[in-house]
Structure 1
Amino acid sequence: MRRPFIIFLAANALSVTGNMLSLLAVPWFVLETTDSAVLTGLASFATTFPIVISAAFGGTLVDRLGYRATSVLSDLASGVVALAVPLLFVTSELGYPLLLLLLFLRWLVTTPGETARKAMLPDLSVAADVRIERAAAAYDGVYRAAAMVGAPLAGVLILWFGPHLLLFVDGVSFLLSALLIGSGVPRVWRGERHSTGYLGDLRAGLAFLWRDRLQLSATVMVVVVNLLDTGVTQVLLALYSRQVVGDPRAFGLLTGVLGAGAVAGTIVYGATGERLPMRLTYGLAFLLAGVPRVLVLALGAPFPVALAVTAVSGFAAGAINPILGILQYDRIPAPLRARVIGTMTAAMYAGMPIGGLLAGSLSSLTGLDVTLLMFTCVYVLISVPPFVFRTWRELDRSRPFRG
């Protein structure tokens, strides 16, 4: 019975790898074809904005269509749209406005598939007789590992074959994912549904999240941290590498070590998580994932020290997503699962564009060191709730998902 679960993880790895290939290939492709940083930034907006829209409003459709059906349809549509970009480019039919439209559509149809796969995870773990702690860690570990491998793979493929061929590989990866889910993963039970129409279903998901103070608090924490992380990874690490280390390779090393540490942390949590107190583990992981790696840069520590501390922070971060997943699977009723997860995902993405603007503006006004210290203080404050608020005691009472 574990074969469908393994196929499910493999399909998700293909989708994530395709996403990473696209995220690196598109900016390079736009720069090569337009030689414009402004148009490249606009293409980036066309990539990120539809994720927020689709996650917010697509979760209800996922609940109505079913998890497996949505995953397959989403991957098929993503593959077709992704393949259209290099094919139209080769035939000289791809103008910039059409490229923006295709990018918008590609990410609009991709997000429901990700929501559906996350929603079907707990039922597949039960069928495979895999504890939810290990299933959630495996899902997040595959996601992180695919992202970590996809980035350097994209760089090599761009160098060898050009970005348009990379987009072709992106499209094929989604078609393969659809084939794996459609042929190797069974339908999962989603509970009794009592639909009141699309808008009524959407309101029910929002109302559930609003009433669940623990999940609402967890969502707010991740919104703020995603905002901070975006500013750190997209702006402050680049500035640190240029101004302090004087070597652009430092940027890549810090990013790579953080990702490798997170993969290791996810693996360790999968093996030991069922024996750890969830609230304390989550609080410490949240604190260590953000504060040390930014503070060490602000204090001007030697680069090898910064690299080691960043690895530790990445390791701590490995436990965060699996615990959030367990919280969602334990508390969200199956008929509401996709729409509530989609709403939480939309919120978590919504602040990310602001992070880069905030980091860039603050560093220009106050300098890099002061900005890093300010970010450190916010990381500390946003890590406080699990330690002090009574609502978070409910996390220790979360039960292992049993279907």
Structure 2
Amino acid sequence: MKSIPVAYLASYSLSVLGNSVAAIVLPLVVLQTTGSALGAGTVAAATVVPAVLAGLFMGVVIDRINRRTSSVVTDLVSAAAVAALPIVDMITGLSLGWFVLFGVIGALGDVPGTTAREALLPAIVRHGGVSPERITGLRESLGAIALLVGPAGAGVLVALFDGTTALWITSGTSLAAASVTLLIPHRVGAIVTADGTAATPVGNAWRQLRDGWAELIRNRFVLVVTLMGTTAVIVTGALQGIILPVYFTEAEQPGLLGVVLSTIAGGTLVGGAIYAAAGRRGRRRSWFVVGVVGNAVGLAVLATLASVWMLVAGAFILGVSVGLFSSLIGVLSIERIPEHKRGRVMGTQNAFITAASPLGVFLAGALTEFTSLNIAAIAVATTWLIALIIALCARSMRNLEPIAHEDARIEGSTVADHA
């Protein structure tokens, strides 16, 4: 594999690793510093709205500047926001207000950073001599490894270092991600049209923003994928945030929660690896159906809450299916989202996904509180099943084979008509 895709995958892995470590370390540091669980919740809640707004509006910037540059800048913002906390702690000491402030600044880098890296992917395929199937499959597998290693690494950091000292290493992963991205040539990040010429932004920022949102609605493939992605995160948030923790707490086996969540990540690793190796074989519609049906089966098994081993089996089936399905959607997104609108479209998708996780936790918590844990689990599984049926029946998801280059021209139109 050439150096360009290697650098991209390394940067992606470091970014995911940093986020997974920060998700564990930062709340613990807030608790250690303030002694308040409400304070930790306040910091988490305060970052949601800025993250959503950044996803909605920063896509315009990502579509106007070099995407390699935007990836580096957003990683540096994230690194600086985390590194500022131990610096302030050394100078004046930390309070809840400082955590909220730098949490908000970090949120302004995290979601646009994810968007910039996703928007860069088609250029990595073009310049890196690698197939979309291979790089998306490898990306899913490496992301799963980072999600497996991150929480364990966070636990070690908190055990070895006191207070905000652990945040230096967390910040270092984002800095390392930015540094590795610099190994990608600057020309790779240039925004081009379907015929390979440089894309020139048309109109002011507000017009471009509306144009990107209109693309999300008109392009039926993008609309279905956005619906599925948002629903998937609602379901995942409900499972990981409420249903499984409550189940294992009531069973007096809280340690097994980590086993089930790790099994999902391990299954995703396997699914991504399978798609990286074999994704170019067979029809894409077949891969799509396997991924969708596997998701439904895995979640249905989890929703039974029958036994620990049933949950582990369901988690593995779900993880493998997620790895296959996410890899395929990554390939299709490369082909079917117009290059010069990727920042705005994917930024909006990431904004919805950012808001979806706390929504899933809230809804599952309310259902558990006012009905029962089993009803909440069944409701979550039913919600995902409805989304999957919609996806299976959607016209835009029937013909998933590669679109001919001459049909992929997107000047003044969308690729939705070809989906």
Contact 2:58-2:344 within 8 A present in 1 as well: yes
1:359 aligned to 354, 364, 376, which one? Answer: 364
Look up the equivalent residue of 1:67 and give its one-letter code.
R
| Equivalent position of 1:347 in the other structure | 352
Q: CA deviation at 1:223?
A: 1.2
| Equivalent position of 1:240 in the other structure | 247
1:373 aligned to 370, 375, 378, which one? Answer: 378
| Pairing 1:223–2:230 present | yes
Contact 1:25-1:154 within 8 A present in 2 as well: yes
SS at match of 2:182: helix
Moved more, 22-31 or 117-126: 117-126
| Equivalent position of 1:295 in the other structure | 300
Moved more, 280-289 or 106-115: 280-289
Q: CA deviation at 1:90?
A: 2.5
| Equivalent position of 1:334 in the other structure | 339
Look up the equivalent residue of 2:201 and give its one-letter code.
H
Alignment partners' CA distance in 2, 1:203 and 1:298: 40
Q: How does 1:124-135 map to 2 (within 5 A)?
A: 124-135=124-135
Q: CA deviation at 1:305?
A: 2.7
Q: 1:206 to 1:253 in 2, by over 3 A?
A: same
| Equivalent position of 2:315 in the other structure | 310
| Equivalent position of 2:415 in the other structure | none
SS at match of 1:108: helix
Q: CA deviation at 1:297?
A: 4.3
1:273 aligned to 276, 279, 292, which one? Answer: 279
Moved more, 217-226 or 41-50: 41-50
| Equivalent position of 1:78 in the other structure | 78
Superposed CA offset, 1:178-224 (max 9, x none): 22212444432411223211111111111111110121012112212
| Equivalent position of 1:206 in the other structure | 213
RMSD in angstroms over aligned alpha carbons? 2.1
Alignment partners' CA distance in 2, 1:239 and 1:34: 26
Q: CA deviation at 1:139?
A: 2.1
Q: CA deviation at 1:317?
A: 0.8
Alignment partners' CA distance in 2, 1:299 and 1:76: 44
| Equivalent position of 1:50 in the other structure | 50
Q: CA deviation at 1:397?
A: 4.9
Superposed CA offset, 1:249-280 (max 9, x none): 11111101111111111111111111133233
Q: CA deviation at 1:399?
A: 6.2
Moved more, 99-108 or 84-93: 84-93
Alignment partners' CA distance in 1, 2:158 and 2:259: 20
| Pairing 1:193–2:213 present | no
Task: Give the TM-score of the pair, scaled to structure 1.
Answer: 0.93
Q: 1:378 to 1:110 in 2, by over 3 A?
A: closer
Q: How does 1:144-159 map to 2 (within 5 A)?
A: 144-159=144-159
Alignment partners' CA distance in 2, 1:390 and 1:16: 33
Look up the equivalent residue of 2:233 and give its one-letter code.
N
Alignment partners' CA distance in 2, 1:57 and 1:177: 23
Contact 2:111-2:350 within 8 A present in 1 as well: no
| Equivalent position of 1:37 in the other structure | 37
Which structure 1 segments of 5+ residues have no match?
none
| Equivalent position of 2:65 in the other structure | 65
Alignment partners' CA distance in 2, 1:322 and 1:309: 20
| Equivalent position of 1:103 in the other structure | 103
SS at match of 2:397: helix
Q: CA deviation at 1:134?
A: 0.8
Alignment partners' CA distance in 2, 1:349 and 1:79: 19
Contact 1:134-1:270 within 8 A present in 2 as well: yes
| Equivalent position of 1:249 in the other structure | 255
Which structure 2 segments of 5+ residues have no match?
193-198, 410-419
SS at match of 1:118: helix
Contact 1:131-1:400 within 8 A present in 2 as well: no
Look up the equivalent residue of 1:87 and give its one-letter code.
I
Alignment partners' CA distance in 2, 1:175 and 1:296: 40
Alignment partners' CA distance in 2, 1:184 and 1:218: 29
- Aligned identity (percent) is 27
Alignment partners' CA distance in 2, 1:400 and 1:174: 36
Superposed CA offset, 1:32-62 (max 9, x none): 1112121111111133332211111111101
Contact 1:282-1:320 within 8 A present in 2 as well: yes
Alignment partners' CA distance in 1, 2:389 and 2:346: 24
Contact 2:267-2:316 within 8 A present in 1 as well: yes
Q: CA deviation at 1:400?
A: 9.5
Alignment partners' CA distance in 1, 2:262 and 2:106: 27
Contact 1:294-1:372 within 8 A present in 2 as well: no
Look up the equivalent residue of 1:90 and give its one-letter code.
M
Alignment partners' CA distance in 1, 2:248 and 2:77: 39
Contact 1:72-1:178 within 8 A present in 2 as well: yes
Aligned length: 401
Alignment partners' CA distance in 1, 2:71 and 2:305: 46
Q: CA deviation at 1:373?
A: 1.7
Q: CA deviation at 1:7?
A: 1.4
Contact 1:21-1:167 within 8 A present in 2 as well: no
Look up the equivalent residue of 2:332 and give its one-letter code.
L
SS at match of 1:395: coil
Alignment partners' CA distance in 1, 2:385 and 2:404: 28
Alignment partners' CA distance in 1, 2:159 and 2:403: 48
Look up the equivalent residue of 1:260 and give its one-letter code.
G
